[in-house]
Structure 1
Amino acid sequence: MASVSAQAQEFFNRYEQLKAIEQTKNLLIEVSSSFSRILAKKLPNSSLNSEYYVVNFNSAVLQDLLGRITELEDAYQRERLDHDRETRFNREVQMHEMELMEQLTRFKTAMDQEPFVIALLDGDGMIFRDSLVQQGEKGGKDAANQLWLAIRDYTSETFTNIHSPKIVARIYANVRGLGETLFKAGIIDKLSVFEDFVRGFNGGRLLFDFVDVGSGKDRADDKLAGKLSSFSHYHHETLKLNLYNCHCQQIFLGCSHDNGYARLLEDNLADIELTRRITLLEGFPFERELASLIGSYRVTKFETLFRESKITPLSNHTWENAVTTSNSYSSSNIGHPNSRAVSRTPSNSNGTAATTSAASATSGSSSTTPATWASTIAASASTTFKDLTPSKPSTPSPPVIERNKYGQRVDRIDFKAAPKDELNRVKKLKLCNLFFLLGDCPNPNCYHTHDYKLGKQERMVLQVVARMTPCHFGTECDDATCIYGHRCPLSEAGKKDCYWGSNCRFDADAHGIDTNIVKLTKV
């Protein structure tokens, strides 16, 4: 508006100038006429030359004045056209400015609607306290409600500009693998307890989800960031999706146990607006690389919700007196029939199941010599197996894990050689894999069968059955006694798919494994 007023004043000034020139012209004409009359009176008898001079003078003055007037009129018309054009342009600009302001108001109103804060947690490390997990479904609901209250209170105290936001929570974890870890550590007495906990958490709050990402060491990482790019690809994508969402006011990122998130967070250090949108949630103490970023991000801790120490599995010293199971298989055999028969005794007074080795009871610390596959079948068909080989005192060699050139674990086992009918029959027996293959079941309330008299051939088939269950740590597993599978039994070397496709229980990295062994890792 100020620019329009200035232009109007300028045009008014030009108009006044033209008006003054017009008045000057009229005055000159009058002066010229008066001069001619005076001259005629004073020189009545003047010669023709003097008359000619006066006439020419008057004519020249008039021509000059008329030329000036024409130029001024043309200039005036041009200025007037420019002024009209400027007026129309300014009016259009004003109207466009008003439309933009209305759009901004609508956008601001839309952006301010449905604000929310979100908690993105790597559930493989951000583990709820034992007292909550052990309550099953009720504990899951309590955990969801307590997490909701903790986020609400922290948000209202810290972010006064965020008014009544919705609270969303996404926990990504390998539910089965985490349940087995809790079970082996003695925190829960059966796997179904943790499954009930997850179900209770999902039902505790409308916008709270405990997402099962399946097996694989870093699947939870993958789900959590849009690493903030492959919690690595999925986790990062989820994080980026919310990080640049105008409705998302704050992200609570729970990943204190894994240095892999450090690279993700370092990418945003240059943008202070992005770092302000992330609050690091501490469970386990921050790993070294993450600890170096604490000064750049806001940090909080919900002490009553999450464990502050990592889970310690129960000691496996009881396995040393139980059967010795080989986890290596050749292409011509499924397993080594060198394990001693194990019998289960009732639980003792403090609830720990006791195991005894029949071979140990008769021969003390004597060791056994592996039998052949053929001899095992023949022996199991005729009579019970007895190992009468004299003991050979020797220092046991440390267990080894065979790996390919990529460092991936390779378990020597030919799944195709296992008889399908026998596999299906053994599966239906619902045997406890831990008890029959490792010699001990740490869960006194285990609902699987323990009192079955397992034959040697059945035991080797059970080893194959156990390998069909994915290991939580995948091909990077370094537990020599691990009985679970580290590669898909239906996948062939070099092929990244199998019969089950995307529905396969095994991670994509567990397909197409190169089975050529190039190195051994001593444990």
Structure 2
Amino acid sequence: MISGIHAQALFKRYEQLKLIELSKNDLIEDLLRRVSELEDAYHQTKIEHEREIRFNRDIQLHEIELMEQIKRIKKIMDREPFVIVLLDGDKTLFLDQYIRAGEQGGKDAANRLAADMDEYISENLPNVASPKTVVHIYANLKALGNMYHQAGIIDKPSAIDDFVRGFNESGLLFDFIDVGQGKNTADDKITGCSHDNSYTRLLQETMEDIELTGRISLIEGIPFDKELDNIKDTFRITRFSDVFRGTKISASPITSAKTPVKNAMLSPHPRSASLTRTSTNTSTSSATPTSWSSWASITASNPGDVALQALKPANTSVAPKTPVVERNKLGQRIDRMDFKSISKEELSRIKKMKLCNLFYLLGECPNTNCYHDHDYKLSKEEKDVLRAVARMTPCHFGMTCDDPKCIYGHRCPQSEVGKKECHWGSSCRFEPAQHGIDLAIVKVTKI
């Protein structure tokens, strides 16, 4: 018979065993719950993975479909490729022999241009198979005829019409178009293909797209202005010397007193003269030509007639203040200007107004066909901003310019002392030497 002491020990051992069983059951239940959680996570991950696979497959199919569409469109585009030639006829001048020959000269010039274009395309655009060449030339025919007549190339201004007629008859896609003498004529028609500065900004914008620059070529007849010359290396350059003149037309030594002065006949001069706007029927005077820096804006604005007349001398009873040009110790010109104090919004607003810099900053605009605004009532603050805008256009004489009235820039307004580059980098319109110059004024040049 088991004693009471032994029975209590066994009961105690039984209780301990029950606790172990309970702990084991809890462990098994925890393991089962964990397995269930992992199974749920696995199934969710599997669903997401399958969804991602279907999505990638759909994207690939869509991409393949788009590529096929691109191929079809490219095939359609390559079926009849074309090359467009846009020319500013006021500055891209045909050789004299073509103009003299009248209607036949127009046909010969067009045929020669077509042959040169075919040769150029085959050498530089080998991937363009048998393209059609479209030629559009825009010009002020009245002014162009006067210019050729005054130079003695044709016997009367209207003879230019015979040349144009022959040119237009030479091919279905060759057009020589008269834009008239109004404002914003050829510039608006062919923005992007002129020798002068008025198209440089657009070309600078295209420089950001490498693929686009590869599709643009520049035709140079008369050498490009300096501002365009600075960026022309980005594009293909060609010259058709057997079609276009490489120099400007010089005036005939004998001209009528009523013949207006053509802007192509004016020569640069280091000193500026006081000029006033006159009609094209006003006779010319013997006033000293204006400075090259001023004419950079005049000749870029419109190729039409420019008539000049000297202003009456000012009252000499009050001696005017002697103008000076401030320079640093190296003799480099320094213009006082504070661009940091001008807000970008105000600078942009004034630029978009297309105000005539010469009229508002120098008091007179000698270009009778100037298309910039002369009627806006400019405040003193706006005039200061306009002066800053003018300084953003480089002067052709650079830091050696000695014209105290020159309104253009002689150093990069965005550069800082000691820094040889501004945020524009190599695309800046100013020369590298016009960056980071010493601004300490140590001497002045009196004019």
1:360-406: per-residue Cα shift (whole Å, max 9, x none)?
xxxxxxxxxxxxxxxxxxxxxxxxxxxxxxxxxxxxxxxxx997xxx
The partner residue of 2:241 within 280, 303, 309 is 303
Aligned partner (choices 142, 153, 162) of residue 196 of structure 1: 162
Closer, same or farther: CA 67–472 of 1 in aligned 2, 3 Å: closer
Aligned-partner SS, 2:137: strand
Partner SS for 1:141: helix
Aligned-pair CA distance for 1:412? 9.6
Residues 402, 409 of structure 1: 8 Å contact kept: no
2:307 to 459, 477, 487: 477
- Offset at 1:99? 0.8
Residues 304 and 369, structure 2, Cα contact 8 Å, conserved in 1: no
Report the counterpart of residue 284 of structure 1 in structure 2: 222
Residue 50 of structure 2: aligned partner? 87
SS at match of 1:97: helix
1:215 counterpart = 2:215: no
2:87 alignment counterpart: 121
Alignment of 1:362-441 (within 5 A): 407-410=276-279
Conserved? CA contact 1:216–1:472, under 8 Å = no
SS of 2:126's partner is coil
Distance 2:118 2:104 in 1: 21
> 2: CA distance between counterparts of 1:121 and 1:326?
27
Q: Following TM superposition, by how much is the alpha carbon of 1:103 offset from its aligned partner in structure 2, in angstroms?
A: 1.8
Q: Is the 8 A contact 2:183 2:369 kept in 1?
A: no
Paired with 1:220 and 1:411, the residues of 2 have a C-alpha distance of 20
Q: Given the alignment, which residue of 55, 61, 68 partners 1:98?
A: 61
Q: Which amino acid aligns with 2:30?
A: G
CA contact (8 A) 1:144 1:201 kept: yes
**Distance between the aligned counterparts of 1:169 and 1:472, measured in 2?**
20
Amino acid at match of 1:300: T
Alignment of 1:163-174 (within 5 A): 163-174=129-140
Change (3 A) 1:110 1:91: same
- 1:323-349 Cα shifts (integer Å, max 9, x gaps): x7799xxxxxxxxxxxxxxxxxxxxxx
CA separation of 1:126/1:56 partners in 2, compared to 1, >3 Å: closer, same or farther?
same
* Aligned CA distance change for structure 1 residues 85 and 285 (closer, same or farther; 3 Å): closer
Deviations 1:403-427 (A, max 9, x none): 7xxx4215899xxxxxxxxxxxxxx
Matching residue within 12, 29, 53 for 1:66: 29
Secondary structure (helix, strand or coil) at the match of 1:314 reads: coil
CA distance in 1, matches of 2:58, 2:229: 54
Distance 1:479 1:277, change over 3 A: farther
Q: Closer, same or farther in 2 for the Cα pair 1:262/1:508, shift >3 Å?
A: closer
Gaps of 5+ in 1: 1-45, 226-238, 240-252, 328-400, 414-436, 438-470, 481-505, 515-523
Task: Tell me what 2:39 maps to.
Answer: 76
1:152 corresponds in structure 2 to 118
Q: 2:106 aligns with which of 102, 117, 140?
A: 140
Query: Normalising to structure 2: TM-score of the pair?
Result: 0.52
Contact 2:258 2:281 in 1 (8 A): no
* Amino acid across the alignment from 2:85: A
- Between 1:182-191 and 1:62-71, the stretch displaced more is 182-191
CA distance in 1, matches of 2:26, 2:173: 91
Cα displacement (A) at 1:271:
5.4
* Per-residue CA distance 1:289-329 (angstroms, 9 max, x = gap): 44444444332111111122322343326x5xxxx7799xx
Distance in 1 separating the partners of 2:100 and 2:165: 13
Q: Compare CA radii of gyration and give the structure with the larger one.
A: 1
Deviation at residue 218 of structure 1 after TM alignment: 7.0
How much is the aligned-residue C-alpha RMSD, in angstroms? 4.1
1:185 is aligned to 2:151: yes
Identity, in percent, stands at: 34
CA drift at 1:197:
2.5
CA offset digits 1:100-123 (Å, max 9, x no partner): 342244235425615433222110
Q: Relative to structure 1, is the Cα distance of residues 261 and 411 closer, same or farther in structure 2, using a 3 angstrom cutoff?
A: closer
What is the deviation of 1:54?
A: 4.2
Which digits, 9 at most, give the CA deviation of each residue in 1:149-176, with x for residues without a partner? 2122212212334344332222110122
TM-score (norm 1): 0.45
Partner of 1:4: none
Q: CA deviation at 1:260?
A: 4.2
Q: Which amino acid aligns with 2:59?
A: H
- 2:164 maps to a residue whose letter is V
Contact between 2:149 and 2:156, CA under 8 Å: does it hold in 1? yes
User: How do 1:484-503 residues align onto structure 2 when only pairs under 5 Å count?
Assistant: none
> Matched residue of 1:309: which SS?
coil
With 152-161 and 285-294 compared, the bigger mean Cα shift is at 285-294
Correspondence 1:206 to 2:172: yes
Deviation per CA, 1:496-522, whole angstroms, max 9, x where unpaired? xxxxxxxxxx979599999xxxxxxxx
Alpha carbons 1:283, 1:308 under 8 Å: kept: yes
- Name the CA distance, whole Å, in 2 between partners of 1:412 and 1:224: 29
Find the aligned partners of 2:32 and 2:183 in 1 and give their Cα distance. Answer: 93
